[in-house]
Amino acid sequence: MKKTALEEEVLSLIRPTPEEVSHINGVAQRILDRIRADGRAEGMVVGSVARGTWIHGDRDLDIFLLFDPSLSREELEEQGLSLARAIAAAEAERFREKYAEHPYINASIDGLDVDLVPCYRVESACSIKSAVDRTPFHTVYIRERIQPFIDDVLLLKQFAKAGGIYGSDQMTEGFAGYLCELLVLSYGGFLPLLEAASRWRPGIIIDPAGHRARDFPEPLVVVDPVDPKRNVSASVSLTRMCEFIELARGYIGEPGRAFFFPPPRPVLSVDEAACLLSRRGTFLYAIVLPTPPYIEDIVVPQLRKSLDAIRGLLDRHGFSVNRADCEMHEETSMLLFELLVEELPSVVRHAGPPVWNHVNASRFSSKYLPCSENELFSGPFIEDGLLIVEKRRAYTRAGDLLRSPEVLQVALGKHVKQAMERSYTVHKGIECYREEFAPFISGFLQKYSPMTWLARH
């Protein structure tokens, strides 16, 4: 499909330059040569570099080390890390070991962020022994089909990046590069995809190979053409899906450069944040904890689980939560809560069973009759047939509850709980503001959908 003048302008800015292509291919070839010389594994460039769908300025290079599938998992890890470390030691300015399903090496080589990932050289994606074994098949599938649609993929990736919905990481919950490529292939281009997406509803199923082998619970289902039991879009949350739908409608209605290069969202200064918080009239609380020493895919779901558990604790104690969110940084993480009320009276009303429910009414009365005046203000008494007590509230201030042992007794994520058992701090109001979390707090206090932000600016 012929590109519009706007799309051609955008493409001229996001296509990799010949110098970039030459540089990244040169680094890749040096690494492949080292793998070949070692002889223990085959080397394969995967990801967007292998498929020619990377955007100008990207510095990521993924190279897989394919080992014989007869190796045990322990042997794969041992030999894979040994080879990856040897390559990094010879080529990299610095490198470190990272962990996904199994360990790999992340290295900085000639200005590129290079992942050296051991995997098994299996015959098909249906016979994988670890999740990463599937990736080489993705590369082959896309590389054989994508050539006529490379520009469309570049446009879609830039469109998704500009909207803040690009990336399958746990923090973003958005559209991965492989998913973007599949969507473009499935709909035959960038604009046909947006036209279709503008009519999407949760539960849509896209099955490029027509071989879906199971049902999926996610709102957007794109069946992996190399694995009929996998949903490529499993990471896409309902929120991100709907943001994409809204952006697609906006672009079709009135295309503009801002859909690819949006105005930056401002980061509030501490004074601006304080002023905005005062105008909102709500009460901001933050729990700051040391980030557990695990990868984002492990830590972020645990942060979200902990956020939900503490939100429930606040709500159960009467401190109504308007919104809550979390952010992970390398050293510290934050759980942020906006409360509609931060202080409550000492008395809390508790309704029991109806008087005619003899067994439960007797238990209720027996429970509260021995209570002292320090525990109970009134009751049990009868009101409209129900037994009622007016108890002393355990916590009248939200901050006291958040600093109490009860926080560690709710269903926190395992590693988050371990980190908080060692140390955590509670901050109130503008004390929540920290420079490293300023963009996160700014976005929390000034929340817009991507399309709303474009429409306002």
Query: How many secondary structure helices (H) and strands (E) does the chain include?
Result: 16, 15
Number of domains in the chain: 4
In the block, residue with structure tokens 């509850």: 401
| Interval 401-408 mean pLDDT | 96
Query: What pLDDT sits at residue 294?
Result: 85
Place of tokens 């962990």: 99
Q: Note whether residue 99 is domain-resident.
A: yes
Same-domain status, 297 and 378: no
Same-domain check for residues 82 and 206:
no
Helices 18-38 and 73-91 sit at what angle, rounded to 10 degrees?
Answer: 130
- Which of 259, 282, 317 is the C-terminal boundary of a domain? 259
State residue 335's pLDDT score. Answer: 98
pLDDT at 209: 94
Average pLDDT score over residue span 277-290: 97
Instruction: Give a yes or no: residue 330 inside a domain.
Output: yes
Inside any domain, residue 246: yes
At 124 the pLDDT is 79
Q: Is residue 322 included in any domain, yes or no?
A: yes
- 152 and 51, same domain (yes or no): no
Give the pLDDT confidence score for residue 168 in this predicted structure.
86
Sheet holding 220-224, edge to edge: 204-206, 220-224, 227-231
367 φψ region: left (φ > 0), alpha (ψ -120 to 50), beta (else): alpha
Residue 3 inside a domain? The answer is no
Name the residue range of residue 227's domain: 147-259
Report the CATH number at residue 250: 1.10.1410.30
Do 327 and 426 fall within a single domain?
yes
Q: Which of 377, 392, 407 is the last residue of a domain?
A: 392
For residue 115, the model assigns a pLDDT of: 95
Q: What is the pTM of this model?
A: 0.90
**Cα distance between residue 379 and residue 390, in whole Å:** 6
User: Residue 180's pLDDT is what?
Assistant: 98
- 113 and 235 assigned to the same domain: no
pLDDT mean across residues, the chain: 94
407 and 368, same domain (yes or no): no
In sequence order, what are the beta bridge partners of 338?
284, 323
Q: Is 193 exposed, middle or buried (0-12, 13-18, 19+ CB in 10 A)?
A: buried
**pLDDT value at residue 291:** 96
- Structure confidence at residue 130 as a pLDDT band (50, 70, 90): confident
Query: What is the domain-level CATH number for residue 418?
Result: 3.30.70.590
Q: Answer yes or no: do 423 and 291 share one domain.
A: yes
Q: Is residue 8 part of a domain?
A: no
75, 97, 132 - which closes a domain:
132
Inform me whether the pLDDT recorded for 416 exceeds 90. Answer: yes
Most confident of 88-97, 100-109, 151-160, 286-295: 151-160
The more confident residue out of 124 and 218 is 218
Question: Phi and psi at residue 169, in whole multiples of 5°?
Answer: -65, 160
Q: What is the pLDDT of residues 179-199, one digit of tens each?
A: 999 999 999 999 999 999 999
370 is a domain residue: yes
The residue with tokens 């503009």 is: 256
pLDDT at position 353: 93
Give the mean pLDDT of 269-287: 97
Task: Check whether residue 179 and residue 295 sit in a common domain.
Answer: no
| 293 and 174 co-located in one domain | no
pLDDT band, residue 220 (cuts 50/70/90): very high
Q: Residue range 138-161: average pLDDT?
A: 97
The string of pLDDT tens digits covering residues 297-340 is 889 999 999 999 999 999 999 999 999 999 999 999 999 999 99
Q: In this structure, is residue 6 part of a structural domain? A: no
Per residue in 67-117, pLDDT (tens digit) is 999 999 999 999 999 999 999 999 999 999 887 777 899 999 999 999 999
- The b/e string for 398-437 (b: 16+ C-beta within 10 A; e otherwise) is bbebbeeeebeebebbebbbebbeeebebbbbbebbbeeb
Q: How far apart are CA 55 and CA 34, in angstroms?
A: 27
Neighbours of 14 (CB within 10 A): 19
Whether 336 and 401 share a structural domain: yes
Are 448 and 311 found together in one domain?
Answer: yes
% of the chain residues with pLDDT over 90: 88
Q: Beta 425-428 vs 204-206: how paired, if at all?
A: unpaired
Same domain, 80 and 167: no
